[in-house]
């Protein structure tokens, strides 16, 4: 495991400002957060239930991005940080929460309910079977071990961790985005997988040499590795 970066510089990343040595936002998935205040306005708890009506991994309007900094989900790299106030304000269904998304992939937490998934109960709805060669041909194979043959069949899950089967079935029926997807395909995830970060570009301050800039991860991506080969 890599050590945390020693970063002393302070800079802005678009609207993001770097945060140094703040404690990680380690919030247990089921904990009900304190009622937050955002720009002086106290946000009311939503009637929608996190993990039931709204996926646990979904962002809420009460959860602004706060900057970039070290994070337990990305050892050796910086990560985009975001407030943790699920269940307050309104859900932003089109946006995953940065930290919860990374945690879901890293710890195999179901993105719907936030609970751990066990071997044998990890399912995907939107993952695509692709060969390692196809990923490499698209320039996405940088994270694949060179020992992995081009013919090896992978399950490209993108940034969506596997769900419990019951949660996947419920999501497919409830979620407008998913139910409109004609390619929805409930299938078991692989027993092995690869994880790599999705990086965001960082603009350093004029005073910071570009070569000193550590990478900044936004989300984690994962790809299941099967034993099958497709040699067509
Ligand atoms: Zn679940």
Ligand 1 centre distance from Cα of residue 24 (Å): 24
Q: Which of 27, 90, 31, 26 is nearest to 58 (CA)?
A: 90
In a domain, 5, yes or no: no
Q: Which residue is it, tokens 């940065």?
A: 98
In a domain, 32, yes or no: no
Ligand 1 centre distance from Cα of residue 104 (Å): 11
Count of residues making up the chain: 232
Cα–Cα distance list, 204 to 15, 88, 211 (Å): 13, 33, 10
Q: Residues 80-92: pLDDT tens digits? A: 999 999 999 999 9
Ligand 1 centre distance from Cα of residue 43 (Å): 27
In a domain, 214, yes or no: yes
Ligand 1 centre distance from Cα of residue 186 (Å): 14
In a domain, 2, yes or no: no
Ligand 1 centre distance from Cα of residue 16 (Å): 32
Q: Residues 6-58: pLDDT tens digits? A: 333 333 333 333 444 443 444 444 444 555 565 656 678 899 999 999 999 99
Ligand 1 centre distance from Cα of residue 187 (Å): 15
Q: Which domain holds residue 210?
A: 12-23+45-229
Give the span between the Cα atoms of 35 and 192, in whole angstroms.
39
**Burial of 197 per CB tally in 10 Å (0-12, 13-18, 19+):** buried
pTM: 0.80
pLDDT over 50 (residue 232): yes
Ligand 1 centre distance from Cα of residue 224 (Å): 19
In a domain, 141, yes or no: yes
24 Cβ contact partners less than 8 Å away, ≥ 6 residues apart: 70, 71, 72
Ligand 1 centre distance from Cα of residue 54 (Å): 12
Ligand 1 centre distance from Cα of residue 210 (Å): 42
Q: How confident is the model at residue 77 (pLDDT cuts 50, 70, 90)?
A: confident
In a domain, 201, yes or no: yes
Q: Residues 154-164: pLDDT tens digits? A: 999 999 999 99
From the CB of residue 200, how many other CB atoms can be counted at a distance below 10 Å?
18
pLDDT over 80 (residue 195): yes
Ligand 1 centre distance from Cα of residue 58 (Å): 14
Ligand 1 centre distance from Cα of residue 214 (Å): 34
The total number of structural domains in the chain stands at 1
The pLDDT value given to residue 19: 41
Ligand 1 centre distance from Cα of residue 167 (Å): 5
In a domain, 149, yes or no: yes
In a domain, 125, yes or no: yes
For the CA atoms of 188, 193, 194, 195, the dihedral, rounded to the nearest 10 degrees, stands at: 60
Ligand 1 centre distance from Cα of residue 51 (Å): 8
Ligand 1 centre distance from Cα of residue 188 (Å): 14
């Amino acid at each position: 495991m890599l050590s945390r970066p020693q970063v002393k510089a302070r800079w802005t990343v678009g609207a993001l400002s770097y945060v140094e040595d703040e404690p990680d936002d380690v919030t247990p998935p089921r904990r009900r957060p304190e009622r937050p205040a955002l720009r002086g306005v106290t946000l009311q708890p939503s009637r929608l239930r996190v993990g039931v009506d709204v996926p646990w991994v979904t962002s809420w309007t009460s959860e602004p991005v706060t900057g970039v900094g070290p994070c337990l989900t990305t050892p050796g790299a910086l990560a985009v940080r975001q407030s943790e106030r699920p269940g307050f304000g309104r859900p932003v269904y089109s946006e995953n929460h940065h930290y919860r998304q990374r945690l879901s992939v890293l710890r195999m937490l179901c993105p719907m309910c936030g609970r751990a998934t066990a071997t044998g109960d990890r399912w995907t709805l939107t993952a695509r079977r692709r060969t390692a060669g196809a990923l490499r041909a698209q320039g996405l194979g940088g994270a694949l071990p060179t020992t992995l043959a081009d013919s090896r069949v992978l399950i490209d899950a993108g940034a969506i961790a596997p769900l419990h089967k019951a949660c996947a079935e419920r999501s497919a029926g409830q979620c407008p985005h998913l139910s409109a997807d004609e390619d929805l395909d409930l299938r078991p995830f692989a027993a092995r997988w690869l994880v790599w970060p999705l990086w965001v570009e960082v603009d350093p301050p004029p005073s910071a040499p570009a070569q000193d800039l550590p990478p900044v991860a936004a989300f984690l991506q994962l790809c299941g590795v099967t034993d099958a080969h497709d040699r067509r």
